[in-house]
Amino acid sequence: MEEQQWHVIYSKPRNEKKVHAALAEAGFEVYCPLNKTRRKWSDRYKVVEEPLFRSYVFIKINGNQLYDILKFDGVVRFLYWNRKPAIVREEEIELIKRFLGEHESVRLESTEFQVDQAVNFTASNLMGQQGKVLEVRNKEVKVLIESMGYYLVATVDKAKLEPSRAKSI
């Protein structure tokens, strides 16, 4: 049996949570990263959870299940990288989970992926021991998730940062 890997589904706009629920109900291991954001209503502030990656849902399947997933309502196609369905490493999924678990109001910045841009991770105890960070400037830490060509950006208090002793990945 072929090993299961994380793939990226492109869903219809504003259907990420519905696609996630339908695939989870069907027994698939799925992940829809939700970003906690503080929104202002006319009379109050409220923390809402919105998908971090618009129209993206992650699913752990093997290659021969790709076409079965396309039959689900709300699924448009798979995200491709270098003319193949994009595969996201398990470590990257875990990094996203840890990052979102510790930070609110995370934003995305698109980037052109270049291998030689990777640097040693300057870790915060909150984010775990490994990862790839492109830049630490003022109070911002930019973490690159290579498979997707996006930066996750969070504002972290410098007092909570320390150089990582972990080997770079």
User: What ranges in 62-137 are assigned the alpha helix state H?
Assistant: 66-69, 90-102
Q: Answer whether residue 111 shows pLDDT above 90.
A: no
DSSP H/E element including 17: helix 16-25
- Average pLDDT of span 40-61: 92
The pLDDT of residue 138? 54
Any bridge partners for residue 36, and if so which? 49
* Dist. CA 71–CA 89, nearest whole Å: 25
* Dist. CA 33–CA 54, nearest whole Å: 10
* Dist. CA 88–CA 57, nearest whole Å: 12
* Dist. CA 10–CA 18, nearest whole Å: 13
For the stretch 130-163, pLDDT in tens is 345 555 555 565 655 555 566 665 555 444 444 4
- Which tokens sit at 135? 């830049």
